[in-house]
């Protein structure tokens, strides 16, 4: 059974007010909005997309409620179509319409429009990158002195916590979970929030509990504005352990970047993977899981690794 979401509550008439993602402010109504280097339409009540140039490629979003998921097709990416699966049974099917495209989201439960931006609309960033010669990485990004620094981490590795701490220190967050890099080595802005886990949200005293989106509970913390793009300045891979900061050399650099690909299908980005892996500083930053001294650790990370030399 497939039931259109708008039949339950039209997006334009939704009465949901989200404390971490309100409707766009009046001065931004009517402006083109988007993320990941593209313009997004179809979620006009969502306020977590920033203004973008009106001539950017447009991606349209269509949402359906699927009472019983029955799509068993594997994930794929081809010249005209692609499919992404989520752990809750939802799917995102992309159809290319040069220079933009359409994302058909089939969700297994009702999700407020403003919560669709992540994880479900990560599909826009992934497939627009696939068809636009850009590199989609499972990584956060933060602006440090006019350069974008990527933050890599394994699952539950503290990536979003690190971003929240960097934002608290006054550095703009470009992206939380997906970073899109273009051939000119610019990192594009994502949605305006970071999703924390319960322990980090409670320790830092921030975030609003959204419940489970995708496969995990998310505590969403809104972040301020950020530039549309910043040139890539470097990469930090986080790890738990005794404090330390070590540069990464040799083939390990390529392994870290290739292992962080957000779309795990063969793609047109081998050259860009090499460029990213070999052209900027890359560090492994170890820190204890105890957040009591987190701010001091963040200050040391910025001063020792991220400041221009």
pLDDT, position 261: 93
Nearest alpha-carbon partner for 203 in 165, 259, 171: 165
Query: Residue 261: which residues within 8 A CB-CB, separation 6 or more?
Result: 136, 137, 138, 267, 273
Q: What is the CA angle 123-129-133, rounded to 5?
A: 165
pLDDT at 309: 59
Same domain membership, residue 150 and residue 20: no
pLDDT (0 to 100) of residue 248: 94
- For residue 302, what are the contacts with CB-CB under 8 A and spacing of at least 6? 144, 166, 169, 171
| Residue where one domain finishes, among candidates 132, 152, 184 | 132
Same domain, yes or no: 140 and 125? no
> In this predicted structure, which of 28-32, 145-149, 196-200, 258-262 has the lowest mean pLDDT?
28-32
pLDDT of 101 reads 93
Write down the pLDDT at residue 17.
35
Q: Is there a single domain that holds both residue 36 and residue 114? A: yes
pLDDT for 114 equals: 78
What value does the mean pLDDT of the chain take?
A: 85
Q: Half-sphere exposure of residue 121, counting CA atoms within 13 Å on the CB side?
A: 29
> Are both 116 and 140 inside the same structural domain?
no
Burial class (CB in 10 A: 0-12, 13-18, 19+), 19: exposed
- pLDDT reading at 295 higher than 90: no
Q: Per-residue DSSP letters for 163-183?
A: HHHHHHTTPPEEESS-EEE-T
Number of domains composing the chain: 2
pLDDT at position 124 is: 94
Q: How confident is the model at residue 70 (pLDDT cuts 50, 70, 90)?
A: low
**Residue 91 confidence (pLDDT) above 80:** yes
CATH code, 179: 3.40.50
Tens digit of each residue's pLDDT (9 = 90 or more) over 120-158: 999 999 999 999 999 999 999 999 999 999 999 877 778
Q: Are residues 149 and 246 in the same domain?
A: yes
Whether 118 and 38 share a structural domain: yes
My answer on whether 93 and 53 are in the same domain is: yes
Q: Among 132, 165, 184, which residue terminates a domain? A: 132
**Radius of gyration, alpha carbons of the chain:** 19
Nearest to 218 by CA among 111, 127, 61, 125: 111
Query: Is residue 110 very low, low, confident or very high in pLDDT (cuts 50, 70, 90)?
Result: confident
Write out the residue range of the structural domain in which residue 299 sits: 133-309
Q: 38 and 69: one domain?
A: yes
pLDDT (tens digit, 9 = 90+) per residue, 279-293?
999 999 988 887 777
Q: Are residues 101 and 138 in the same domain?
A: no
The residue among 114, 132, 150 that closes a domain is 132
> Domain check: are 157 and 113 in the same one?
no
Token pair belonging to 156 = 């539950």
Antiparallel, parallel or unpaired: β 208-213 and 216-222: antiparallel
167 shares its domain with 217: yes
Indicate the pLDDT class of residue 30, thresholds 50, 70 and 90.
low
Q: How far apart are CA 137 and CA 182, in angstroms?
A: 11
**121 and 34 in one domain?**
yes
Residue 24 has a pLDDT of 52
**50-51 and 179-181 beta bridge pairing:** unpaired
Please state, in angstroms and rounded to a whole number, the distance separating the CA atoms of residues 246 and 232: 19
């Amino acid at each position: 059974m497939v039931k259109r979401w708008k039949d339950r509550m039209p997006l334009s008439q939704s009465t949901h007010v989200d404390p971490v993602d309100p409707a766009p402010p009046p001065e931004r109504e009517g402006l083109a909005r988007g993320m990941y280097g593209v313009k997004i339409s179809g979620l006009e009540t969502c306020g977590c997309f920033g203004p973008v140039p009106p001539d950017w490629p447009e991606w349209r979003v269509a949402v359906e409620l699927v009472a019983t998921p029955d799509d068993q097709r594997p994930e794929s990416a081809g010249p005209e179509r692609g499919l992404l699966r989520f752990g809750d049974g939802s799917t995102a099917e992309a159809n290319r319409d040069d220079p933009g495209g359409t994302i058909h989201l089939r969700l297994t439960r009702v999700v407020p429009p403003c919560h669709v931006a992540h994880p479900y609309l990560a599909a826009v960033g992934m497939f627009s990158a696939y068809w636009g010669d850009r590199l989609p990485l499972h990584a956060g990004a933060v602006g440090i002195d006019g350069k974008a620094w990527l933050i890599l981490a394994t699952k539950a590795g503290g990536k979003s916590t690190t971003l929240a701490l960097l934002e608290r220190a006054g550095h703009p967050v470009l992206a939380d979970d997906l970073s899109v890099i273009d051939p000119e080595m610019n990192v594009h802005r994502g949605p305006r929030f970071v999703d924390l886990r319960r322990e980090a949200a409670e320790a830092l005293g921030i975030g609003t509990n959204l419940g489970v989106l995708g496969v995990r509970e998310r505590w969403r913390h809104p972040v301020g504005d950020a530039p549309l793009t910043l040139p890539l300045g470097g990469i930090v891979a986080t790890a738990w352990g005794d404090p330390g900061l070590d540069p990464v050399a040799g083939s390990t650099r390529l392994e870290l970047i290739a292992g962080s690909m957000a779309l795990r299908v063969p793609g047109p980005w081998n050259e860009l993977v090499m460029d990213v892996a070999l052209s900027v500083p890359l560090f492994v930053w170890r820190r204890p899981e105890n957040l009591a001294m987190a701010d001091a650790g963040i200050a040391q990370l910025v001063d020792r690794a991220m400041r221009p030399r």
